[in-house]
Amino acid sequence: MGYDTKNIRNVVLLGHSGCGKTTFTETMLFEAGAISRRGTVEEGNTISDFNSLEQERGNSIFSTLMHVTWKDSKINIIDTPGFDDFVGEVVSSLKVADTAVMLLNAKNGVEVGTELIWDYIEQFQTPTMFVVNQVDHEKADFDATLEQAINRFGHKVLAFQYPYNPGNGFNSIIDALRMVMYEFPADGGKPVKKDIPAAEKDRAMAMHNAIVEAAAEESEGLMEKFFEEGTLSEEDLTDGLRIGISKQDIFPLFCCSSTQNMGSGRIMGFINDICPAPSERPPKLLEDGNRLPCKVEGPATVFIYKTISEARVGNVSYFKVYSGVLKSGDELINASNKGSERFSSIFLANGKNRDQVDELRAGDLGVTVKLKNTHTNQTLNTKGTDREIAKIKFPEPRLHVAVEPPSKNDMEKLMRALHAIEEEDPTLVIEQSATLKQTLLHAQGQLHLDLIKYRIEQVYGVTMDFIKPRIPYRETITREANEQYRHKKQTGGAGQFAEVHMRIEPYFEGMANPSGLTVKNTEIDELPWGGKLVFLWCIVGGSIDAKFSNAIKKGILQKMEEGPLTGSNCQDIRVSVYDGKMHPVDSNDMAFMLASTQAFKAAFQKSNPQLLEPIYEIDILCSDEAMGDIMGDLQTRRAIILGMDSEGHYQKIIAKVPLAELYQYSSTLRSLSQGRAKFTQKFLEYSPVPGDIQQKLIEAHKVEEEED
């Protein structure tokens, strides 16, 4: 029998790398009796970090689903990685969580990872509580951490607890909500309740009153009671806090030492008593704009938030039941591809350990295996129901590289491996660029790429190198030129003959017809890579038969596909074919194609050709301290600053930068800002390449052609 929706709590643990999420998870599992012995990150035997790569590195790389039973609730816990390169794991976990638990390191305060994750919490509007961890560290500073949290996240952050004796020897927490002191035994675990020391009474009471006032503000009835009685009963206080947390009006802040197993039980009790059940969250947004309430009644709707591939198992799918009851053996229909999927087995997960169950009810998280054609971000429904949960919007990639296998024979194997990883990781984008003739990987950062390379080599047995991607330059012209070319070939029997006279000009919308020529026919081609070719047939008197028109245009397009300067695509050119010659026997399509290609190439070189480069607009959010270094670096990248502003806690720089100057920019920005910056980029325009750079690119292309 599955848990009722009202007794389910879905919690995601978030925070900067090193704040102790995995250790805190281990303590929660131990306190709830789910495990009999606590593992450690150092020993590589925690329930959460069960992947061999995580154990080798000593930090989380993947999100991990676990669960505990606490009082009358089932608490699903998702531990997430702290590095921004693995933000996809955070975003997908936030999608299905109903409460975020943000861990702060008492020694380091609010770190950059916390700030970056907060943006996603705000996007998902997830009820949040803070836990100041590691208050037993000799350099722990709870008060400074609390102050930083309030400064960064606002006065909705309310301290519900504080450590009585932080640092070495820590063993007591003062709880301002219950107005009691918890004193823990030396090995942690269940504390003894004691009176708050007299010297701490005023501070604790001030915190308690702030909590009561915040709870009272959540409804008129509670506010009236508060004014009449000066306080609230425990039941009223619980009601007010539940409303405030659900509406993100209150962000409770607790403290603990996860390594000493001190404080986690009280936090789980609060999650059980106060944090929202799935049914108490707003109905989930659907792709069609409608909303789906989380309730057991009605047909089943299941959302896949994560997919991994396991040896000897295949695809393992992690899901949330948003509606109805999912039973083992049920067949559901994929809302995206209309395929049928059978849930032959349903599991509850604790890391790599899975327990089979008969059913899961609305709001619960589970695992299944061997879904045939269903992947991350897809919805499955009971047959006859057609609804699709709004998809997760994963962040855009920030680092772009080309991949090179050791041999062409390995390319097919490499692509199979890359696509297998892409199915698991929606923040990785693979592109086969016909323009650049390269396979491109678009990733979140260098650490993300390093992980992909490691997995490709270790799991799939294929080696590869990352190289700098080519830049999709464009070629065009800046003035008019006339040219002619005669192609003549005699090899016994029928020969080849064609002569083409053409004028080429830079094309722009609304330009007048070419002077001195009579336009018989106009064709405008939208080029696949952008820009246009305008082809004018201006033959008067039949010097070339109109039947050769298509062959002549085809020859021009062939050269435009690999331009004369650097082999890049050409764009925005008007070609007028105004004269030529043909032979009644030896003229054919091939002859005119070859003639037009050579005429176009010669005319192009006489038309003051110009190389264009892609320009991107980048928006950088950074701290005040890093702004000067970032601005200085942008100047070395031929950037033009478009504007500066402030956005919340950050300074914002808007600039346009050539794509050629943005290779590995995410790594540089991280170094310049000590990780306290982020950026987005979007294509803006094509712009002329400076003359000296153009000449270097042309010379490099000549060398490349000679080597080939």
pLDDT at residue number 593: 97
Read off the pLDDT of each residue in 642-665 and give the average, rounded to a whole number: 90
pLDDT at residue number 493: 66
DSSP category for residue 612:
E
Q: What is the CATH number of domain 611-693?
A: 3.30.70.240
pLDDT at 342 over 60: yes
Which class would CATH give 284-382?
mainly beta
How is 553-604 classified by DSSP, letter by letter?
HHHHHHHHHS-TTTSPEE-SEEEEEEEEE--TTT--HHHHHHHHHHHHHHHH
pLDDT at residue number 112: 77
SS3 helix, strand, coil % of the chain, rounded to 5? Answer: 30, 30, 35
Which pLDDT tens digit goes with each residue over 459-487? 888 888 999 999 999 999 999 999 999 99
Q: What is the CATH number of domain 399-467?
A: 3.30.70.870
Which pLDDT tens digit goes with each residue over 364-374? 999 999 898 99
Amino acid identity of residue 42, one-letter, is E
Residues 6 or more apart whose CB falls under 8 angstroms from that of 359 comprise: 1, 2, 325, 326, 327, 328, 346
Closest by CA to 544, choosing from 574, 512, 520, 513, is 520
Rounded to 5 degrees, φ, ψ at 606 are -90, -5
C-alpha 574/C-alpha 554 separation (Å) is 14
List the strands of the sheet with 331-334, edge to edge. 340-342, 331-334, 379-382, 301-310, 314-323, 365-369, 346-350, 353-357
pLDDT at residue number 52: 67
Q: What is the CATH number of domain 5-280?
A: 3.40.50.300
Where are the chain's structural domains? 5-280, 284-382, 399-467, 475-606, 611-693
pLDDT at 312 over 70: yes
pLDDT at residue number 427: 92
pLDDT at residue number 237: 87
Which pLDDT tens digit goes with each residue over 620-651? 988 888 999 999 999 999 999 999 998 767 78
Amino acid identity of residue 202, one-letter, is D
pLDDT band at 17 (very low <50, low <70, confident <90, very high): confident
Rounded to 5 degrees, φ, ψ at 145 are -65, -40
Read off the pLDDT of each residue in 195-199 and give the average, rounded to a whole number: 96
Return the residue matching tokens 């987005």.
680
pLDDT at residue number 235: 85
Read off the pLDDT of each residue in 182-192 and give the average, rounded to a whole number: 93
pLDDT at residue number 184: 96
Return the residue matching tokens 């409460």.
99
Amino acid identity of residue 216, one-letter, is A
C-alpha 100/C-alpha 121 separation (Å) is 8
Under a CB-based contact definition with an 8 Å cutoff, are residues 276 and 245 in contact? yes
Which ranges of 260-357 would DSSP assign to H, the alpha helix?
264-273
Read off the pLDDT of each residue in 502-512 and give the average, rounded to a whole number: 96
Least confident piece of the model among 415-424, 532-541, 608-617: 415-424
Percent of the chain with pLDDT over 70: 98
Read off the pLDDT of each residue in 335-349 and give the average, rounded to a whole number: 95
Under a CB-based contact definition with an 8 Å cutoff, are residues 211 and 222 in contact? no
611-693 has the same fold as 399-467: yes
pLDDT band at 708 (very low <50, low <70, confident <90, very high): low
In this predicted model, which residue has the larger pLDDT, 107 or 55?
107
Which pLDDT tens digit goes with each residue over 25-83? 999 999 999 988 888 888 778 877 777 666 677 677 789 999 999 998 999 999 999 88
- 497: exposed, middle or buried (C-beta count within 10 Å: 0-12, 13-18, 19+)? buried
Full-model pTM: 0.85
CATH of 475-606, one of 3.30.1120.130, 1.10.10.10, 3.30.230.10, 1.10.3210.10: 3.30.230.10
The number of angstroms, rounded, from the C-alpha of 316 to the middle of its chain's C-alpha atoms is 21
pLDDT band at 18 (very low <50, low <70, confident <90, very high): confident
Under a CB-based contact definition with an 8 Å cutoff, are residues 268 and 70 in contact? yes
Token pair belonging to 445: 């950062």
